[in-house]
Amino acid sequence: MNSKKYKIGYTTGVFDMFHIGHLNILKKAKEQCEYLIVGVSTDEVVKNYKNKLPIIPFEQRCEIVSAIKYVDEVVPQTSMNKMDAYKKLKFNAIFHGSDWKGSEMYNKIIDEFSEVGVDIVFLPHTDGISSTMISDKLVNNENHK
């Protein structure tokens, strides 16, 4: 008998300067699904919603994520609209870091996906690490030389 709760899971991210927090999300998501699809945000998507480009180019971020043993498939995330992705990929659950839980954006996503029977699963956020923190540390180290 299969102990995985979901057949197909989906998660997204920029995965810029890949770190342990990214790995933890992918591992915890894969523990709950048979097949994990990961949407990696294109440079254009990141520029549109974060107003900055990732440090690592899109193709390289995809290659890094696809090499992780918990990941079954990598797809480009070309828009923040998760329903568009669902129409193409037909996943059973979306996995996201708990730092978004309770946000207006995710409350809308939960409502929207409950209508098509897709669960939104919040996974614990890894405290003390983010690509922004790494970037800031690099800048600060450079400034103290």
The overall pTM is greater than 0.75: yes
Please list the ranges in the chain whose pLDDT falls under 70: 1-2, 142-145
* pLDDT the model gives residue 143: 67
Give me the residue spans of the domains in the chain: 6-143
Q: What is the pLDDT of residue 12?
A: 96
The 3-class secondary structure across the chain, one letter per residue, is CCCCCEEEEEEEECCCCCCHHHHHHHHHHHCCEEEEEEEEECHHHHHHHHCCCCCCCHHHHHHHHHCCCCCCEEEEECCCCHHHHHHHHCCCEEEEEHHHCCCHHHHHHHHHHHCCCCEEEEECCCCCCCHHHHHHHHHHHHHCC
pLDDT of 57-69, one tens digit each? 999 999 999 999 9
- Across the beta sheet with 73-77, the strand order is 73-77, 33-41, 6-13, 93-97, 119-123
- Looking at domain 6-143, its CATH architecture is 3-Layer(aba) Sandwich (3.40)
Predicted pLDDT of residue 145 = 62
